[in-house]
Amino acid sequence: MSDDLAGRIAELEIKLSFSEDLLEELNRTVARQQQQIADLEHRMRDLRLQLQRSLPADPASPADEVPPHY
C-alpha cells in the first residue's frame, strides 16, 4: 500500500470516529429531549385536570346572571 493511500485511509478512520462520537451525542440529546417532552406532557395533563376540577360543574351563562344593580 502506498503512503498516500494509507494516509487517506487513516484520515477516513479518524473522520469516521468523530462521526460516530457525534452520532452518539446526538442520540443522547434526542433521548433527553424526548424525556423532557414526556415530562411536560404529563405536567400539562395534571394542570388540565386541576383546572377542570377548580371550574364550577355547571357554569352559568352570562345571560342568566343578575346584573349588579339588582
Distance from C-alpha of 17 to C-alpha of 23, rounded to nearest angstrom: 10
**Quick check: helix, strand or coil at residue 61?**
coil
Distance from C-alpha of 18 to C-alpha of 62, rounded to nearest angstrom: 65
Residue 24: all three cell numbers together = 452518539
pLDDT 10s digits, 25-60:
999 999 999 999 999 999 999 999 999 999 887 766
Domain boundaries, the chain: 3-53
Q: In which band, very low, low, confident or very high, does the pLDDT at 66 lie, cut at 50, 70 and 90? A: confident
| Residue found by looking up cell 451525542 in the block | 25
Residue 49: all three cell numbers together = 385536570
